[in-house]
Structure 1
Amino acid sequence: MDAFLVSTGIVALAEMGDKTQLLAFMLAAKFRKPAPIIFGILVATLLNHGMAGALGTWIPHLLDAEVLRWVLGIGFIIMAIWILIPDKLDEGDTKFVSLGVFGTTVVAFFIAEMGDKTQIATVALAAQYQSFIAVVLGTTVGMLLANAPAVLLGNKFASSLPTTWIHRVVAAIFAIMGVAILLGLGSYLGL
């Protein structure tokens, strides 16, 4: 349960102001059809984070436990720093309009998530918890918690959120997790 809850919370918070949330706003404004957009986000996230979770659960089988501890600890600290860097939406993220609302959303979200903070976080969380299903479901729920309101409420919702503070809190969580893992305290904290 820890893997699911931590994955959900971290991704939901990390997604605030992320480029995929900006993409959700753009798709909602362009198509004005929330149901296929939200379903497209769900499918794209399950596919993308499914691959990331599989990689994350595979990595510990390749690395010695001590090396893995250092890789994960440093990785979480790098994520803490990366979270503080604001995202910008690339023009290429919405070029697939001929695929319809659902298809455009799936392709655009899948591509936008490649190498994104939340995808990398999914790899790290799956490696840490060794719980593919709990992590992928958690990160997917987190994506939906952040992006479904973006689709449903549009720019009014985004402008009222203190994204700078949200990013700082998420960065602090990642930093604490990284330091705890490096100090060998991860198991005491449920990591």
Structure 2
Amino acid sequence: MKFSKTLICAALLGLGAQAQAAQYLGATGTGVTVADLSSPGLLGFDLDFAQRSQVSLSFAIEAQDLAPGALSFNALVRNLSGLGFEGVSLRLDGARFALPAGSLATDGFQAVAQSGHGVDRLWAKFSEPGLTTEFYIGNPLASVGARDWTLDLSGQQVGDTFRITVAVPEPGTYALMLAGLAAVGFVARRRKPF
């Protein structure tokens, strides 16, 4: 009897100590509450914005993150209602997005009017600022047809860190961002192969 109780306790402790995605090290930013929702093979978090701002979340890479070479990623950005947000942007530092691209969506009160992504960033602009209460990066709600993003960790070592910065920019920031992306696209098209 004692032996079986010991086995049950050991099994429960093993489940509780089950490895999760990259280890969450903390966040910097004001006006945002962060909930780490990561699980094995999935880096996920919930951001609750109380004001226009940005938050940077830091993560350490663990051995199980390197085995597949990539990590699924999603996030829920919420409490946007009444704050007049035009959109959301996300930047990676120390990791990059792998193909295929994931989903970007809102709670349905308005559409994503424009969006884009590169190897280390993504952004979305809403059709009517101020109406959206939630924004989904990837598939945090397990919706049919939505797809998580994938973070490529190739070239990284155990203990390396990476940062994800999510921002709710001031109006007008998107115009500058679109101009920058257009310029990069123009230069890339004009570049001749060696």
Q: Which has the higher helix share?
A: 1
Q: Which has the higher strand share?
A: 2
Ranked by relative contact order (alpha carbons within 8 Å, sequence separation 6 or more), the top structure is 1
* TM-score, L = length of structure 2: 0.27
